[in-house]
Amino acid sequence: MAIFTRYALTRKGQQLIAKAQADLTNIEFTEFVTGSGLWDEDEDLEYATALKEPRQELPFSDISIPSGNPSTVVVTVNITNENLTQLYYLNEAGIMARDPDEGTILYAILAAETEATYVPAYNGTGYSNIVQRINLEVANSSSVTINMDGAHVSAAEYTAFRNSVLQIIAGLSGGAEGQFLRKRSDLESEYGWADTPVVSRPLAEFPEVGMTDAVYIDTDSAEIYVWMLLQSGEYGYFKLPLGSEASETLQRQITANKNNISTLQTKVSKLEEKFDQVTLTVNAADWNESSSGGVTVFTQEKTVANMTAQIDAEVWANVIATTAAGIVAEKKASSLFFGKGTAEGLEGKVRLTCYERKPAADFGLKIVGVKEA
């Protein structure tokens, strides 16, 4: 279900589009602002100039242009509770832009009918994320810029990037003696190894644009050439064997490429570790009650084989109930834990602590960043 049910391009936004169409300025989106203010149905959003109760200012994480519709751009923002100290209901949001005459303006506004979705405060155990995509009227997408400094990437976007990187690495790996690396299709990530084509003809008859995976032999002089990027920054035919200086340069490039691939593989491996996860069930009957400083404390420990105190893991809710009544009870238990509880990583286990009250039902947890045994 959509969070926001009403949307409006403000009068200030309409005026900025008019200035952009008159070539007086470009449209620069600066930030995405969320708030908790509620707007009545009889309030005209088009005349809004600010949110009623602003709570967060967030950068955009992506921008795209729908095919065949250059008068619209689609912006994406990742609404996260990082550094958020107080829960609030996500009732309103604004897209801010820079006007050359008025400074920062409210370009467009979104509003919800009721207080249905909230952004929880960060409690040290796990981040909450809401990915929101908005279609914006701009009249001419070529004049649009967007602020993406400090933007967060969702897990889905990371997964797509990771799959692309792994595909490139797979294409770069392998190969046999006498083979050259070449593209297998027009797709950016399609690489593979192929046997080296050999072209034999007089130098004057070499193709105007050569192939980077071919060897060219001048039949008049028996000299060998390859098509490669020259120091001038343009492609051209380079005669072999390479001189000592050029040979050293090429060797350095080969070594650098090998090191870059190794570094990329290491980064991907570390990112994979961050997305490793284990799931566990927290049983309502297993809480142990004690007292500390006059406060009732409930604790229980769960075995997590690869957990240590040094692992920087994140804890998320993981629904295990299968019936409607069970899910409702589990949601209440999970909300109580995330509101009043903490999770502490120890050697081979995780210690769960709740203060004042304990969850009344079983609930599931997902620990991201730890491998299963």
Query: pLDDT 10s per residue in the chain (373 long)?
Result: 468 899 999 999 999 999 888 888 888 999 999 999 999 999 999 999 999 999 999 988 888 888 778 888 888 888 888 888 899 999 999 999 999 999 999 999 999 988 888 888 888 766 777 888 888 888 777 778 777 665 555 545 555 656 676 676 666 666 665 565 666 666 666 666 666 677 888 999 998 888 887 888 888 888 888 888 877 778 888 887 655 555 555 556 666 667 777 777 777 666 655 567 889 999 999 999 999 988 999 999 999 988 888 887 888 888 899 998 998 999 999 889 988 889 998 999 999 999 999 999 999 998 888 877 6
Distance CA 77, CA 149 (A): 12
Q: Which of 213, 242, 272 is the last residue of a domain?
A: 272
Two structure tokens written together for 34? 């969320």
Q: Is residue 172 part of a domain?
A: yes
Q: Are residues 211 and 335 in the same domain?
A: no
Two structure tokens written together for 24? 């007086």
State whether residue 361 is helix, strand or coil.
coil
Per-residue model confidence (pLDDT) at position 91: 94
Per-residue model confidence (pLDDT) at position 240: 77
- Overall number of domains in the chain: 3
Measured over the CA atoms of residue 60, residue 62, residue 66 and residue 69, the dihedral's sign is positive
Q: Give the full edge-to-edge strand order of the sheet including 288-292.
A: 288-292, 295-303, 349-355, 341-346
Q: Which of 272, 306, 327 is the last residue of a domain?
A: 272
Measured over the CA atoms of residue 35, residue 155, residue 269 and residue 177, the dihedral's sign is negative
Per-residue model confidence (pLDDT) at position 255: 66
HSE-CB at 373 with a 13 A cutoff on CA atoms is 8
Q: Are residues 298 and 268 in the same domain?
A: no
Measured over the CA atoms of residue 8, residue 10, residue 11 and residue 14, the dihedral's sign is negative
**Residues whose CB is less than 8 angstroms from the CB of residue 29 and which lie 6 or more positions away in sequence, other chains included:** 60, 75, 95, 96, 97, 107, 136, 144, 145, 146, 147
Range of the structural domain that residue 350 is part of = 277-368
Q: Is residue 175 part of a domain?
A: yes
Return the exposure string of 30-52: e unless at least 16 CB atoms fall within 10 Å of the residue's CB, then b.
Answer: bbbbbbbebbeeeeebeebeebe
Q: Are residues 118 and 214 in the same domain?
A: no
Q: Are residues 173 and 249 in the same domain?
A: yes
Per-residue model confidence (pLDDT) at position 262: 72
Q: Are residues 147 and 11 in the same domain?
A: yes
Distance CA 291, CA 297 (A): 5
Q: Which of 152, 173, 205 is the last residue of a domain?
A: 152
Per-residue model confidence (pLDDT) at position 105: 95
Distance CA 88, CA 28 (A): 28
Distance CA 266, CA 135 (A): 37
